[in-house]
Structure 1
Amino acid sequence: MAFRFCFSVALFMSVRTKCDHIPEGSVLMECRDRYFMIAVDGSCIGNEPHFEAVDGTGAYPITRQYAARCGYAVDVVALLGHLELRASYFSCHTGNTDDKVFTFNFNLILTYEGKEVHYALNKTCSPSLPWSPREVTCEVDYMEVSVRTDVVCPSTTNRDWDAALQTVHASAASDWQVVFQTVGQKLMPMNLSEAHRRGYVFDLTEGRLVFRTPYRQPDSFITVMNDVPVEMVHATLFSRQRWVVLMVDMVAACSMHEGSFDERRYMVWKAPEFVHPLVLNLHSTKINAGVNGELVEEGVAEERGYTVETTDNTIQIIILYTAEGWYRKSFVVGDLFEFYVFNLYLEQIAVDEDQVETRLRYYRTLTSPLVLCSVFTIRRTDLEERMFSVYLGGVPRDVELVAVSFNGHTFTLPLTSTSISMIPSIHPNTTHGYTLKVAFDDPVVLHEFHKDSVMMHKLDVYFILATVPENECFYHVTSLIALTNVSPPVFDAFCSESGISFTLDHRPFNYLWAFSIGSDPLTSDLAARHGYVMSNDSQSLQLHVPLFTPGYKYKNVTLKGFLGIFKILVQDKETLEIQTSTVKMCPFNTTTELIVCSTDGRMVVVADLSLGDPSPGIPTRTSLRNKRCRPKEADDTRVLFSFPLHTCGSIIKLGKHSVTYENKIFFSKNLHAATSSSGSDADSVTVQCSYPLRGLQRLFSLHRFESDADGVGCIVHSARANEGLCSTGSAASMRSPSRALAFG
C-alpha cells in the first residue's frame, strides 16, 4: 500500500517537472584562464544530450573519443541535472587569432519526446593570463602540451635526449616526424599523418606548438612517482634540413591518482610535486587549488574546506565533505544514500635553472562512494500537553517529505488536521528537517488500557520521503509510546427552568466506561421510555433530563421551591463497578402540586385545595386522618405535609406486585367549622405512595422500611373521585393537573 502511494507521488512529481525546452538562464558560458566552458543546469537536459563543434567546414559530433582527441571534455551528471563542456583554447574547430583571441561555435542538441532540438552557442574569448613557455593540461580524458616556439635549448641534456638525437641523425626525412620514447623499445620515427591516425594531434599556431593525446595510448606508459601512478607520453618532434636538425621535446605527464575516501568524511587526491621528468633543478614551485575552474589563494581554500599540503615531494589535496563547491546528490538503494562530486582544479607552477616556467593544470572529477545518509529522529513526549513531538532531521536539500503514515493511516502534505501539525526548518549545513506534533487524543493514536488506570498511547510513524527530481521514495520509521493515568469521564451539567442538561465530550478511551441511571444502562431506548432528550454524535454525548422524569430525587421541599437532583453513574465496562458519578442539584420553583415517596418511607405532599372545588378549602384548617398531623406550611390555597408512611392514620393496601400507603388530607370550607374526617362541611384529598414488593425485603425481614427504589405517588381530589383513583404503582392514571413524582 505504501509503495503504491509512493509511486503515485513520484508520477505526480515527474509530470510536474516535465519540460520541452531549456529554461531561460540555465545555460552558462564563461571564458576561463585556459579553456572555454558551457554549463547547463536544470532538469530539462532531456535524453542523451550532446554537442557538435561547428566551423566553416561543417558540424562535428563530439563523441567521447573525438573529445579526447580534439581537446574537449564533456561531463554529463544526469542525477545532478548537470551538463558541462570544457574546450581547450587549442581545441579542434576553434578560431585562433595570434593566440590571443579564440572563437568557439557549438550546437547543443537535446531530445524531447523523440524530437531533437538544436541550440546554437557561440562565444569569443581572450585568455586573462599570458601563456607560459611550457604548459601542460591534464583533463579528465586527455593530456595537452603547448610550448612556445622560441624557447631556447636547455643548458643540460639527458640520455633520452641523446638517444632521440641519434635517431634523428639516422633519418633522412625533411618533413616533420615524431618518435615516441618508451622504456625498453626501439625509437621508430613516424610522420605526423601516421601519428594522427593513432589518435595524436600536433598543431602549430602563430607562436606555439601543441601536442594532445588521449589517455591509455599504445605509446604511453605508467610510472610510479612517490607512490603515485603517473601516465606519461614522451614525444620528440624533429625535422632535418640539410645540416640543421630541429628537435622539440613534448612530454605529457599527469597524475592518475583516483582519490581515496575516509570514513571521517573527507577525500584525498595526490600528485607528485615534480611530475615532469625533463624539468631539472627546479628553483621554486607554486600551487593553487580550487573548484569548478576557479583558483583561489591558500587561505581562501582552507576557509572553503580544502587544504593543500606538500610532504616528501608529494602534493596532497584534502577535501572535506562539507567543503564549498561540492555537487551533492541523494540516491535511493533500499535506503537513502548520498554521493559527492568535486570538480578539482589544480595549478602547479615550476621554474627550472634556465628560468623557463612550466605551468601544469589538473582538472579532475572526484566522486565519493555511496554514503548512508544520516536521517534521524528526536522523539519527545509532553505529558502535560498530552502531545507527541518528533523531529525528523538530517534530510538532504534534494529530498522532500511528501506524506506521513500514522499507525497505517496515510496523509499527504500539507496536513489539515487541527490536532496534527508539521513545521519545516532549514539548516545551514545543506539539510533541513520537520517537526511533527500529534495530540494523544487524535484518532490516529492507538490506546491500550492497563491495570491501575494506566493508559498506553502508541504511535508508529512512517515518514515517506522522495528524492527530487527522480521521485525515488524511501521511508524513515519511528515509534512513540506514552503512559498516562486515566480518569473516568465526567459530565458537564447545567440547570435550566425545564430540567437538567448533561454534556460529555468524547475521548478516545471513553469506550472503557459505561453510563447508567440508577441500575439501568443509559441507552437511547431508556431515554425514549423515560422522556429524556438524548443525542450522541462523534464529538459529544448530550442528555437533557426534563423535571419530574424518572431518576430525579428531590429535597428541601417548601411551598416556594425545592431542589432537584439527578445522578449519572460511571461504571467499569467489564466489571460494572462504579468508578465515579456526576451529580447535579438545581433549584426549582414549586408552582403546582407534587408528592414525594422516598426510599426511607416518608411522604411529602404539596396539595392545592383550590383544584378540588370552585369554593376552595381553608389550608390552615387541614389535617390527615390523624387530626394531630397538621400541615408544616400553608398559604392561600396550598398545604405542605411531611410524615412517615406508617403514621398519621395511613392505610396499607397490599397488591400482587406492590404495596400502597394511602392517607387523606381533610379540610373544611367553613372558617368556624371544626375539621372532621366526615361531614358535609369537610372535603378531602387522597394521597398515595406505591412501592414494588421486590424492593421491600427488609420491610418484612427486619420490620424496617427501606426500599430499593423510590415509590410512585398519586394525588386525587375528592371532587374528582368519580374519575377514579390512580392505579397502584402507576402515575400515568392521574386525571388531575397534579404530578405523581418519585423523591428521595
Structure 2
Amino acid sequence: MGGLFGFGWLILIVVNVVAQKKPSINIYSKCLGNIMRLDVGPLGGNLLEVSVLNNSTTVLTQRLASQCGFSVKIDNLGNALIFVSLQNCFADNVNDESFTTTINLRLHGNQMLEDELYQVTKTCPYIAWASREIVCERNYMEVSVKSVSPGRPVPDDVTVGGPKSAAEKRPLDAGFTIKALVFFTPEERMMKVNEARRRGYGISNTPTRLVLRAPLFSPETLIQTVAGVPMTVLKTATIFENKWLATQIDAAAACPLMEGSVSFTPHSISWFLPRRINPLISGGHIKLLEVHMGVDGQRLDVAEMAARRYSMSVNDLYVVTEIPVGAVGGHFKSRVQDGQYFTAYTIEPMLELLWSEDSKKDTRYKVLLPITTPFLPQPPQVIDHTVPEEQIFKVSLGPFCADVALINITFSSEVLSVADCIARGLKIQEHMSPKSCSKVFTLEVPFTDHSVQQMKEMGMSVYSLELTFGLLVMWQFAPFSHTAYLEARFVNNVPPSVSGGCDYKNFYILVKYGTPGFTFKTLVGNRMLTSSLAQQYNFMDNGTHFSFTVPFSAPDVVIEAVEKSSIRSRLDVSLKSPDTNNNIDKFAVACDFFSTLTECFPNGTITTMAMKLESVPSLELSQLTLRDATCGPSYSNDRYAYFVFTGNSCGTTRTFLPTMMLYENEISLPAPAMKSKTETDSEPEYEFKVACYFDIHTNHAVAFNNRPRRSEPYADNGIEELQVEMRLALDDAYTTFYRANYIPMFLRQPLYFEVELINSGKPDLSLELADCWATLADDRTSLPKWDLISHGCANQGDPHKVIFHPVLPDARVQNPLNFKRFEIPMFAFTKDEKNLSRQVFVHCDVVICDVTNPAGPACNVRCSDQDAGMKGQNPDVSEGQSINSLTSGPMLIS
C-alpha cells in the first residue's frame, strides 16, 4: 500500500464484523541509525490511532506526521510499521546523542469493546552524525546539517554577516535565533518561521544541528531530472540573527520518485539511484565511502541479501538494486477493477549512501522507497477434484493473496454465508502455503445436498452443481465473485444380488451378476457353490444371472422348527468378495414344507423321524431315545434320526377314544445325557411327541380318509388346514419378493401384491379375493381405514384404483388358480398436507372355492368395470366356505 495510513483519522485495516475478545497485539521497537521503527500487529480488524506524548498528548494527523518526522505503512495482513525520525518534533534530545520518544497507540474496536491503549517509550543513541544527513521517507524529506556552537568554527555552508562585514566568519553563539527561511524554487522566496510552520514545514535548532523537514511534494519543491531519474528537490537557506549580526545556513534535500527510477519485468524489480546526486553536491569531486541496502529501514548484510536473492551493484552512473518479485520482505496485495481480480507485489527497499566532497564534509543519504509493481490480472482457477464414486463434489478456487476472504456462496436457489454452509454440513476450508498469493478455498458438497441436481442418461447418473463464490478484498472493501459449474457422470455400478423363494418342496435361488467387472463367490449355507454342487442343484446360467434349486431336505438347509403340518426350513445364500471375503449381498429365505415325519401302519408299526434343529446345534441325534431309553434310532446322521417301533413297545402309551385309539410316545435325550449339560447351557431341551390314531372298527391306521398322520414337538396331529400367504414382489414379474419385515417405499411407488394358497394339494381349489383395505396399525379393525378391494372389485372411489394382474403358469406357479395378484400405488394417511403417516398395513380377506361346485355367490361375481375375465368377489359366503384373513407390512414411507 502506498501513502500514509493511520494518523488522526481512523483507518479500518481488516474486515471484522464482530469482535469476540479484546485485541492482543505485538509491539517491537528498533533503532535503525537516524530513524526508529515500531512493528505493530496484527491489528485484528481494529482501527489504529497514533499519538505522541510531550507536555501533553498530541494526536498525529497526516499533516503533523510529515512535519514532525513520522510515517506509517500497513500491509494487507493488518501489520503496521511506524517510522520515526530521531530528531522528530517530540523527541527528548540529550546533546544530540540520545533521543527518547513516547508514542501512544490506541486500537478502536467495535461497540462491544473498550478502546485498547498501548504506550511505547523508546530511547535510541546516535553519535555517528555526518556533516549532513538526508532522509527520504514515503511522506516527507528531512535534512539535518551541523550548525555552529559557541567556541567552534563556522562550517563552510554558514555565512556570517552584518552591517559592517557580511563576509567575516565568526562563532555562532546562543544569541542567534531563526528569523526566516529562503526557498529556491528556483526563484527565491522568503518566509517567516511561523509562516513556514503553518505551511507544514518542520524547523528546529538542536544543540549542534539544524533540522529542516518538508512534505514530499510541498509547493516550494521542484522536480529535477538527475541522470534520467526524476527527483523532488528542496533547496533552502535558513537565516539566523542576533542583536548585531545575521548569518544563514544552506540546506538541500533531493529524493527519487518511483516513476522513472524503477523498471519491472514479470519476475524482477530494478531500482536505479544516481550515484552523483547533483542538487546536493557543491564541490567538483566526491568520493563514495559506503553503500548499504536494506528493507523497511533496516540494513541487510551480504548473507541476508543472498538468502533473499537481492542484488546490488554500483557503476559509474547508478547504484542498481535488483529484487525478485515475490521475495521475502515484500508482499502481494489484491485489487478488484471492473469485477476482475488483479494482484501486485509491493516492497519498501532502502539504500543508504555515505560520500564526501573534497574531503571537507560528508553526507549520509538514506532513501526508503515504496515500490509497487503494476497490477496484473490473475483470474481465479476452478479445479474440480470430484471422484464420482465418492458421491461428493470437491472443488478448489484460487489462488488468491492473503487479503482475500470468502464471504458467501450462492447456490441455485439460496445464498449461504460460510457459517451457514458449515452448519449445513458442507465442508469449507482455507489453505495457505509459504508461497506468496497461495490462498486456496476448497468446498465439498455431497451429492445428496438439495442444491445438487440429478438426472439419468442411458444407464448413467449425472449430478450437476452451479455455484457462485462471493469474495472480498479486505483492505479495499471491494467485493467480487466467481462462478463455477460442476458436473459428475458415472455408470450406475450395480453389485451382484441374490433373491429367491420356495414352493412346496424346493428353494429357488436367483443370482444377478450386476455390472460387469464384479467378481464374487457364492456360498450356499456354509459350502461354496462348486461345479459339482451346482450340478446337484440344477444350476442354470443365461449370462446376466444364474439360478439353482435346493430341495428343502438338502444338507445345506437348516431346520428352524417343526410345525403342526410342516417343517420350517431356511436356506442362507451369501455372495462374498474373493479378495476380502466381505459380504457383497446376503439372503435368507425360510419356508414351511409339508412333510410326513410320522407314519402309522395297520400292523401297529410306527415310524418317525426326529430332525436336527438350528436352535439345538450341539444335539447328537444318535443319543436320542424313545421313552424307553433302550429304544434308540434305527438310523441317524447329523441331520435326522429315524425310529421304528410298535404300539406295544418302547414305552408307548394307549388311550381309548370314542371311535379311535391313540398311541403316544416321545423322543428326547436320556437322563445321563441331560445331566451332562452344564447349568450355563442356553440351548433348549429337545422333546418330540409322536402320536398315531387307529380306527377301532377297522383296526386300521387309515382313519381320516386313509391318510397317514404327522407329528411335531409338543402337539398332536390336527385336522388339515389350508394356508394362505400374502407377499410383496419387487416388480410386476412376480419373480423376486421383499424379505425384510419393514419395507421402505416412496409415495406413488407401485406395490405388487401376490396372495397364494399354500400346498393345497388339490387342483380343484381356487383362491378368491373378498375384501382388501389399508390401516395405520396392524390391527385389522383399527381406524382410519381405506378400502382397496370391496366385494371382490376395485374401490370405485379410489382415484388410483387397484390393478389386477393375470397369473400364468411357470416354473414356480403350478396351479394359477391358487394365486391372485394385484397392484396399488404407495399412499399415506394424512391429517393435513404437512403431516403424513409413516407406515401403512394392508389387510385382505380371501375365500377358497371349489371349482367343481361353483354354486356359491362368492365364487361367481364379475366386476363390470374391470378387465375382461378378472373375477371379483362377493362378501356372501356359502355354507362350507371359510374366510381366511391376511395382513402385510408394515410398509414404511420414505
Partner residue, 2:764: 688
Which of 144, 147, 164 lines up with 2:145 in the alignment? 147
Q: Are the counterparts in 2 of residues 95 and 102 from structure 1 also a CA contact under 8 Å?
A: yes
- The answer to whether the aligner puts 1:324 opposite 2:429 as a matched pair is no
Partner residue, 1:229: 230
Q: Which amino acid aligns with 1:127?
A: P
Is the alpha carbon distance of 1:436 and 1:261 closer, same or farther for their aligned partners in structure 2, counting shifts above 3 Å?
A: farther
CA distance in 2, matches of 1:104, 1:473: 41
Which of 228, 248, 273 lines up with 2:275 in the alignment? 273
- SS in structure 2 at match of 1:254: strand
- The answer to whether the aligner puts 1:301 opposite 2:373 as a matched pair is no
Is the alpha carbon distance of 1:195 and 1:117 closer, same or farther for their aligned partners in structure 2, counting shifts above 3 Å?
A: same
Shift of 1:726: 9.4
Could you give the per-residue CA deviations for residues 585-618 of structure 1, whole angstroms, max 9, x where no partner exists? 957442379xxxxxxxxxxxxxxxx999999987
Is the alpha carbon distance of 1:152 and 1:367 closer, same or farther for their aligned partners in structure 2, counting shifts above 3 Å?
A: farther
Shift of 1:362: 1.5
Deviates more, 1:706-715 or 1:474-483: 706-715
Which of 456, 463, 486 lines up with 1:457 in the alignment? 463
Q: TM-score, normalised by structure 2?
A: 0.51
Map 1:603-642 to 2 at 5 A. 636-637=708-709
Q: Are the counterparts in 1 of residues 808 and 816 from structure 2 also a CA contact under 8 Å?
A: no
Map 1:153-302 to 2 at 5 A. 180=182, 182=184, 185=187, 196=197, 199-237=200-238, 248-258=249-259, 262=264, 264=266, 266-275=268-277, 276-278=280-282, 280-302=284-306
Q: Are the counterparts in 1 of residues 509 and 549 from structure 2 also a CA contact under 8 Å?
A: no
Is the alpha carbon distance of 1:727 and 1:268 closer, same or farther for their aligned partners in structure 2, counting shifts above 3 Å?
A: same
CA distance in 1, matches of 2:493, 2:592: 36
Q: Are the counterparts in 1 of residues 398 and 441 from structure 2 also a CA contact under 8 Å?
A: yes
Partner residue, 1:541: none
- Give 5+ residue unaligned stretches, structure 1: 1-11, 505-552, 566-581, 594-609, 623-633, 639-684, 699-704
Could you give the per-residue CA deviations for residues 92-119 of structure 1, whole angstroms, max 9, x where no partner exists? 2321111112122344456567999684
Map 1:592-741 to 2 at 5 A. 636-637=708-709, 687-688=763-764, 710-713=815-818, 727=859
CA distance in 1, matches of 2:481, 2:699: 87
Could you give the per-residue CA deviations for residues 424-448 of structure 1, whole angstroms, max 9, x where no partner exists? 5432214233454556566654333
Partner residue, 2:19: 17
Q: TM-score, normalised by structure 1?
A: 0.59
Could you give the per-residue CA deviations for residues 718-743 of structure 1, whole angstroms, max 9, x where no partner exists? 9xx9x999947899987589999xxx
Deviates more, 1:189-198 or 1:33-42: 189-198
Is the alpha carbon distance of 1:500 and 1:415 closer, same or farther for their aligned partners in structure 2, counting shifts above 3 Å?
A: farther
Shift of 1:287: 2.6
Could you give the per-residue CA deviations for residues 319-364 of structure 1, whole angstroms, max 9, x where no partner exists? 4441222354445553444455433332122233306331111123
Map 1:34-49 to 2 at 5 A. 34-43=34-43, 49=48
Partner residue, 1:432: 439
CA distance in 1, matches of 2:250, 2:493: 94
- The answer to whether the aligner puts 1:446 opposite 2:453 as a matched pair is yes
Partner residue, 2:399: 394
Could you give the per-residue CA deviations for residues 611-642 of structure 1, whole angstroms, max 9, x where no partner exists? 999999877999xxxxxxxxxxx98348xxxx
Partner residue, 2:61: 63
Which of 124, 127, 132 lines up with 1:126 in the alignment? 124
Could you give the per-residue CA deviations for residues 671-710 of structure 1, whole angstroms, max 9, x where no partner exists? xxxxxxxxxxxxxx97505699x97999xxxxxx999995
Is the alpha carbon distance of 1:463 and 1:136 closer, same or farther for their aligned partners in structure 2, counting shifts above 3 Å?
A: same
CA distance in 1, matches of 2:324, 2:454: 48
Shift of 1:227: 1.6
Q: Are the counterparts in 2 of residues 222 and 232 from structure 1 also a CA contact under 8 Å?
A: yes
CA distance in 1, matches of 2:412, 2:209: 73
Is the alpha carbon distance of 1:637 and 1:379 closer, same or farther for their aligned partners in structure 2, counting shifts above 3 Å?
A: same
Shift of 1:458: 2.5
Is the alpha carbon distance of 1:71 and 1:15 closer, same or farther for their aligned partners in structure 2, counting shifts above 3 Å?
A: closer
CA distance in 2, matches of 1:88, 1:696: 103
- SS in structure 1 at match of 2:286: coil
Q: Are the counterparts in 2 of residues 328 and 340 from structure 1 also a CA contact under 8 Å?
A: yes
Q: Which amino acid aligns with 1:147?
A: V
- SS in structure 1 at match of 2:184: coil
Map 1:494-573 to 2 at 5 A. none
Is the alpha carbon distance of 1:449 and 1:287 closer, same or farther for their aligned partners in structure 2, counting shifts above 3 Å?
A: same
Is the alpha carbon distance of 1:415 and 1:128 closer, same or farther for their aligned partners in structure 2, counting shifts above 3 Å?
A: same
CA distance in 2, matches of 1:710, 1:583: 30
CA distance in 2, matches of 1:211, 1:482: 70
- SS in structure 2 at match of 1:147: strand
CA distance in 2, matches of 1:493, 1:362: 86
Is the alpha carbon distance of 1:123 and 1:45 closer, same or farther for their aligned partners in structure 2, counting shifts above 3 Å?
A: farther
Is the alpha carbon distance of 1:135 and 1:695 closer, same or farther for their aligned partners in structure 2, counting shifts above 3 Å?
A: closer
Partner residue, 1:33: 33
Partner residue, 2:604: none
- SS in structure 1 at match of 2:89: coil
- The answer to whether the aligner puts 1:73 opposite 2:98 as a matched pair is no
Which of 95, 101, 104 lines up with 2:98 in the alignment? 101
CA distance in 2, matches of 1:312, 1:16: 57
- SS in structure 2 at match of 1:303: helix
- SS in structure 2 at match of 1:712: helix
Partner residue, 1:591: 594
CA distance in 2, matches of 1:106, 1:146: 23
CA distance in 1, matches of 2:297, 2:114: 30
The structure richer in helix per residue is 1
Shift of 1:138: 1.2
Is the alpha carbon distance of 1:262 and 1:456 closer, same or farther for their aligned partners in structure 2, counting shifts above 3 Å?
A: farther
Partner residue, 2:835: none
CA RMSD of aligned residues (A): 6.0
Q: Which has the higher contact order (CA 8 A, sep 6+)?
A: 1
- The answer to whether the aligner puts 1:352 opposite 2:357 as a matched pair is yes
Partner residue, 2:483: 477
Q: Are the counterparts in 2 of residues 54 and 93 from structure 1 also a CA contact under 8 Å?
A: yes
Is the alpha carbon distance of 1:424 and 1:216 closer, same or farther for their aligned partners in structure 2, counting shifts above 3 Å?
A: closer
CA distance in 2, matches of 1:616, 1:39: 118
- Give 5+ residue unaligned stretches, structure 2: 1-13, 513-546, 555-566, 572-584, 597-691, 711-760, 769-804, 820-846, 861-870, 887-894
Is the alpha carbon distance of 1:727 and 1:69 closer, same or farther for their aligned partners in structure 2, counting shifts above 3 Å?
A: closer
- SS in structure 2 at match of 1:68: helix
Could you give the per-residue CA deviations for residues 190-242 of structure 1, whole angstroms, max 9, x where no partner exists? 76566556654443322223232333444432210122111222223466999
Deviates more, 1:91-100 or 1:458-467: 458-467
Q: Give the fraction of aligned pairs with identical amino acids, expressed as a percent.
A: 20
CA distance in 2, matches of 1:29, 1:423: 36
Q: Are the counterparts in 2 of residues 177 and 239 from structure 1 also a CA contact under 8 Å?
A: yes
